[in-house]
Structure 1
Amino acid sequence: MSFAKQPLVDKNALQSEKSVRAVMSLLSLENGFISRTETPDYGVDLDVELVDESGATSRKFAVQIKSAASVRFVEQDGQQFVTLPFDTSRLGYLCRRSPASGIIVLYDAAEQVCYFDYVEALVYRLEGREATREWREQKQVTLHLTKQILDEEALRSLHNQVSHTYQQHHRLVRQYGGQYGLTSFAPEVSDKSTPLPNPNDPDQLAAWLEIYGGLLFNLGDYRMLLDMLNRLPPRTIGASKRLLFLAALANTHTGVLIEAEYFLRKCAAEEYDEAEQDLLAFSRIALALAKGEASRSTVLDELASLKQRTTSSINTLTFSLNIIYLSLVNSWYVENAGPMLTSIKDLFREIDDAPIELREKHLLTVYNCENLCILLSTTFSRDATYAKIRAELG
């Protein structure tokens, strides 16, 4: 009597299936997503659609999932990354899925956690790490994912990020699409998209700030942000690392030094991603300068160090802006305006070429114009004063 041989169990396939199930359980309807598997898989495991209070939105992004029995960490410029070998062709395929390229997820089977990063951030980081663009011709590249776990807070941030990307895309098409035969049927961004909170309802206000507080900060509306935060009970801010983060930044940028120091100290006990850590470090430097605990030269050195180690393009530009600004302020005149003028011109060019949103480019350009005005006014003031002295002396 003979028995048919049983098929062997494909452990890799089982692990891959388990990782997909783990990610789909996170990108669920309950969390504001609809996840659909792509069959056949040509480079994307999941096609995910955002869901809001009105239902499905048609705003989709891609998710590529990898799994590993254990993950490997590396440290670069003082930050830990999760490494992942990845097919260059698949990375290119993800990048071509406009307007939201999506995310890459690495499932750690040993710890049963999902690490993730945005495709755009991974490519930008790769470009900065490689000396040339020859990596694009390689069969495989090694990606460095920031050590961020796909948890409840990260899901909220992901939902907001993808939604914001589509809003910006629709604005762009609405404004310029007619020139290229493109039509946008997306509704105008209104109060429905960004519902205004009841300022007298702390719970509603806190929930609104969790989502939109970062946008107020990015737009430079520090006073408005601080006024909203001041309406919240201290225990509400203390219970949310996001609100603590916003409170630290808002108080620092509005010169409320005692509260700034308190919230920065509270933030030190929390975990934040690299870009957030950069902003907190910048706020600590600004606080030390405002309190007279650090000299201008020391602050300039620390800002240069921050700029050197950050991988965030917008933070790099922001630190460059402040380095130029601090080099100009509190100086009666600039001894040699030529090199400083060159730095300002170079920064205009860097802002224009940066892989950031158009609105952010506009804001950074305005701030750099302020640097240019300071340089020109100090130079003019010096020259005018010298001319007046010469006239007085005949």
Structure 2
Amino acid sequence: MSFYDDPIIDDNAKRSQESVHFVKGIFSEKNGFAYREENPDLGVDLDVELIVGGQGASSKKFPVQIKSAVAFRKIRSEEKSYISFNFKTSRLGYLAKRPPAYGIIALYDETEQQCYFDYVDEVVRRLDDHPSREGWREQDSVNILVPLQSLDKNVLPLLHEKFLKRHQNSDMLIKEHGQKFNITFLGPNADRSEVTLNQKDPEQVAAFLETYGNFLYNEAEYAILVHLLGLVNRSRLINSSMLVFLATITYTRTGNLIDANYYLRKARKMPELMQGESKALIEYSASRVEFMKGNIDHDYFLNEFRTNADQTENYYNKLHLKINMLFFELIKGMENGKLADDIEKQVTSLGQEIEAADVAEDEKQILRCHHADSQFHFAVRAEAALYREVSFKEAMGCPMPVAEIQRRGLDLHQLIEGA
């Protein structure tokens, strides 16, 4: 180029600018975020800070790495659709060194003018879990898989909540254990040895449940939930959609039919609860209450289960419903003495689906524990059936071969061990 020629802006620069502008528009202050461009860019395009309380800069940040292309290669893996994208292993490692949030990888499709994303820790976990990717950390680059989940305004509340909780949990760990490693904690309540809940203050208990109630429910801490709900003033409780929802699912789960019915009626009058995932869980609770009262039979209850499962978009909740459906199928089979021919396959298949589920590890552990009930019930039933079959054949003078008994006994043992 000569002195008289204008500098050329290459296509890569144009694409990079378009994708960065798109992501900046998503992580705006209006949406609860404040972004800063990394300069120099050493593996991160944007450093995004969470805005807490509508206006407070929190110092809680997460990185965003943005890549763009005219069109991405899309593949199917384990019955899900993903974008397959070649990524520098060093850059992935750099993002993995940014705890506690780790951040996200955003892929901008220029043709569709749409952005897809995934959490860095999920990308790494997916690589680690894939049997053919062993040794990927030593490679110069690796094909990562990013699910077709759009980075748009609809997903921002969940993303904000997820990263805020990661920072809060990290603060809690440093506060509780930092002194052992000579790390000083200077965050909120730094002068206190632990965060306390004044159970004599109903308003403080209500606020605590609104913040942490779902976590306690997901951890199956039903006794704590029942106790704390009982400390909240009734008028305060029924005027909070979050507390009404929590009371509904908690009292249903613990078999308190009178209170469950009461809060079910309240929940169904709250429009904000009768949509999406909350509606599915409320309708499931209603069916469970009617079943426990004896107003509907197994078949009707299971049909309601299936309807709610079909309407549930959250994969974690959908797996919970599948576990419950299978459990009640087993209970029904035990009562009438007839289990489905493929029940063992159903139990095993659901266990495999849980192991392959794209959910957080703590959520997966809860699913494993709940599914263990179904495995145990089936194993007990199958063991009794095997004993009856062996005894009957011996009485008829045609005993079952020892090898066959050993094989089936080993299968049962493995099933029970899995439970």
Instruction: Provide TM-score, normalisation by structure 2.
Output: 0.66
* Corresponding residue of 2:179: 178
Q: Deviations over 1:43-78 (max 9, x none)?
A: 000000000225111110000011111122211111
Residue aligned with 1:268, SS: helix
> What is the letter of the counterpart of residue 18 of structure 1?
E
Q: Deviations over 1:250-272 (max 9, x none)?
A: 66888778688547525635654
| 1:142-153 aligned within 5 A | 142-153=143-154
Q: Deviations over 1:64-116 (max 9, x none)?
A: 01111112221111111121211000000001012111011011111111111
Evaluate the alpha carbon distance shift between residue 284 and residue 109 of structure 1 in structure 2; reply closer, same or farther with a 3 A threshold.
farther
Evaluate the alpha carbon distance shift between residue 238 and residue 98 of structure 1 in structure 2; reply closer, same or farther with a 3 A threshold.
closer
Q: 1:278: Cα distance to partner?
A: 3.8
Q: 1:180: Cα distance to partner?
A: 0.7
Q: Distance in 1 between matches of 2:113 and 2:312?
A: 22
Residue of structure 1 aligned with 2:279, choices 235, 244, 248 = 244
> What is the letter of the counterpart of residue 90 of structure 1?
R
Q: Distance in 2 between matches of 1:40 and 1:280?
A: 48
> What is the letter of the counterpart of residue 81 of structure 1?
Y
Q: Distance in 1 between matches of 2:328 and 2:101?
A: 37
Native 8 Å contact 1:100 1:165 kept in 2? yes
Q: 1:218: Cα distance to partner?
A: 1.7
Whether 1:326 and 2:374 are equivalent positions in the alignment is: yes
> What is the letter of the counterpart of residue 297 of structure 1?
E
| 1:90-169 aligned within 5 A | 90-131=91-132, 133-169=134-170
Q: Distance in 2 between matches of 1:262 and 1:238?
A: 19
* Corresponding residue of 2:61: 60
Q: Distance in 1 between matches of 2:174 and 2:217?
A: 26
Native 8 Å contact 2:327 2:374 kept in 1? no
* Corresponding residue of 2:46: 46
Q: Distance in 1 between matches of 2:376 and 2:309?
A: 31
Whether 1:310 and 2:357 are equivalent positions in the alignment is: yes
Instruction: Provide TM-score, normalisation by structure 1.
Output: 0.70
> What is the letter of the counterpart of residue 271 of structure 2?
T
Whether 1:285 and 2:326 are equivalent positions in the alignment is: yes
Q: Distance in 1 between matches of 2:146 and 2:51?
A: 26
Q: Distance in 2 between matches of 1:190 and 1:67?
A: 47
Cα-Cα RMSD: 4.0
For these two proteins, the number of residue pairs brought into alignment is 334
Q: 1:146: Cα distance to partner?
A: 1.7
* Corresponding residue of 2:236: none
* Corresponding residue of 1:16: 16
Q: Distance in 2 between matches of 1:55 and 1:259?
A: 47
Higher relative contact order (CA 8 A, sep 6+): 1
Q: Distance in 2 between matches of 1:123 and 1:215?
A: 25
Residue aligned with 1:153, SS: coil
Q: Distance in 1 between matches of 2:178 and 2:81?
A: 41
Residue range with higher mean Cα deviation, 160-169 or 303-312 = 303-312
Q: What 5-or-longer segments of structure 2 have no aligned partner?
A: 190-194, 227-245, 250-262, 388-405
Larger radius of gyration: 2
Q: Distance in 1 between matches of 2:309 and 2:248?
A: 20
Residue aligned with 1:64, SS: strand
* Corresponding residue of 2:87: 86
Q: Distance in 2 between matches of 1:7 and 1:19?
A: 22
Evaluate the alpha carbon distance shift between residue 265 and residue 343 of structure 1 in structure 2; reply closer, same or farther with a 3 A threshold.
closer
> What is the letter of the counterpart of residue 302 of structure 1?
S
Q: Deviations over 1:220-267 (max 9, x none)?
A: 257873517733336736763232354467668887786885475256
> What is the letter of the counterpart of residue 325 of structure 1?
D
Native 8 Å contact 1:310 1:316 kept in 2? yes
Residue range with higher mean Cα deviation, 47-56 or 335-344 = 335-344
Q: Deviations over 1:337-371 (max 9, x none)?
A: 999888888x7xxxxxxxxxxxxxxxxxxxxxxx6
Q: 1:8: Cα distance to partner?
A: 2.6
* Corresponding residue of 1:227: 248
Residue aligned with 1:125, SS: helix
Native 8 Å contact 1:47 1:61 kept in 2? yes
* Corresponding residue of 1:366: none
> What is the letter of the counterpart of residue 61 of structure 1?
F
Q: Distance in 2 between matches of 1:38 and 1:19?
A: 15
Q: Deviations over 1:298-346 (max 9, x none)?
A: 541332342354243445544543454333237388999999888888x
Residue range with higher mean Cα deviation, 290-299 or 25-34 = 290-299
Q: 1:40: Cα distance to partner?
A: 0.8
Whether 1:265 and 2:312 are equivalent positions in the alignment is: no
Native 8 Å contact 1:245 1:263 kept in 2? no
Q: Distance in 1 between matches of 2:327 and 2:414?
A: 25
Q: Distance in 1 between matches of 2:176 and 2:273?
A: 42
Residue aligned with 1:107, SS: strand
Q: Distance in 1 between matches of 2:305 and 2:203?
A: 26
Residue aligned with 1:141, SS: strand
Evaluate the alpha carbon distance shift between residue 343 and residue 259 of structure 1 in structure 2; reply closer, same or farther with a 3 A threshold.
closer
Q: Distance in 2 between matches of 1:280 and 1:14?
A: 47
